[in-house]
Structure 1
Amino acid sequence: MERLWNGRGYLEEVLDSLESAAQHSAKNFRGFDENTRVLLACDVSGSMQRPISPQSKILLYDIGLMLAMMLQSRCENVQVGMFGNTWKRIPVPTRNILSNVQEFYKREGEVGYATNGHLVLKELLERKEKVDKIMFFTDLQLWNTGTGNEPMSRLWKQYKANVHAEARLYLFDLNGYGQVPLKMLDHEVCLIAGWSDKIFGVLAALEDYESVIENIRIYS
């Protein structure tokens, strides 16, 4: 007999299917081991509340949270948070992609809607906390709304010099502007502009930089 949608009758089933699809999309990404410390920072500022296109109701905010939670599900030693006026870490389980996204939706407004992404690096500096990979999911419309002058470039250099010289910074520019809040990009700062289902493949290639370069040399 044909199954019909009946109120909440099949809602759990639908959510299970969506969760499985999300997990499947992320499964090919090589998760970091327990010794690789990862911090994921989600931009929830006002500029992230824009649709990804004039024809879509999906927001940059939605894409950023989804990609961050998919990546979180593949990492073994990971923390995640959101920034606006302030920066706040949000503890969530690592295996529930959709419910984690919903948890962030429910907490919208807790950090305000400004663009103070520099606070992520500032907190790491103040704590002298070593993180191997720091990843921003943002449209890169970042600036300091406070009275101080603490650009990300300066904080990043201080962090590298005084806390963790081997750290790497990843900037996921979800709007594809290609704007860079750092004065210099080198092999330890990676800018990934735009988004698609290939984004984890790009990230994997960046992680395996030496192998990719060697393959180019062999086959070119």
Structure 2
Amino acid sequence: MLIDFTRLTPLEAYRWLTATVTPRPIAWVSSLSREGVSNLAPFSFFQVISDEPPTLLVNIGLHDDGRLKDTLRNVQDTGELVIHLVTASQAEAMNASSASLPHGVSEFEACGIASVPAERVAPPRVAGAPVAFECSLAEVQPYPRDNPSNYLIFARILLAHVDPEILDERGRVDPRKLDLIGRLGGSGYTHTREVFEMARPQL
């Protein structure tokens, strides 16, 4: 089967990509508006892209009507965000925060998600998140540049909160204890509980 992506509609391309490029980590992003209203939303076009400097990338699309999403608007306005990883126990809360609420309505409040203050940035953290990265905005890149449908947020990590409960006896993250979820196609999700190891070849 051959799929000609040059002939697909954006929706068709999205469905093929999200069904095949899996599992995708989920960035649960908190931000603050200029008016001080907190926002919380999940994004699965997300990855670590650099360790020097430590940088995460979150791709944020537009609303169907072309409006900027609140997360993007807030981050552009304030230059700060917190990126959380999502555990199986937080899946329902994360999913609830993906609803398209009116501008100016906080997902923390509307969805009953508890928050705690961050250390170095203004947006709050999700209480109980096993890993939370406090970040400053490095840059935003529209893509494609001539007619953007997505905006790439380069988030430089300032500080990370790591729950000691997810560490093993060596002080390293145990993926089974971390118990993250990943995004599949459609409404599918997966767990990171099943783990196997392979040593890199030494040539």
TM-score, scaled to structure 1: 0.29
- Which one has a larger percent strand, Structure 1 or Structure 2? 2
Higher helix share: 1
Question: Which of structures 1 and 2 has the larger relative contact order (alpha carbons within 8 angstroms, sep 6+)?
Answer: 2
Higher alpha-carbon Rg: 1
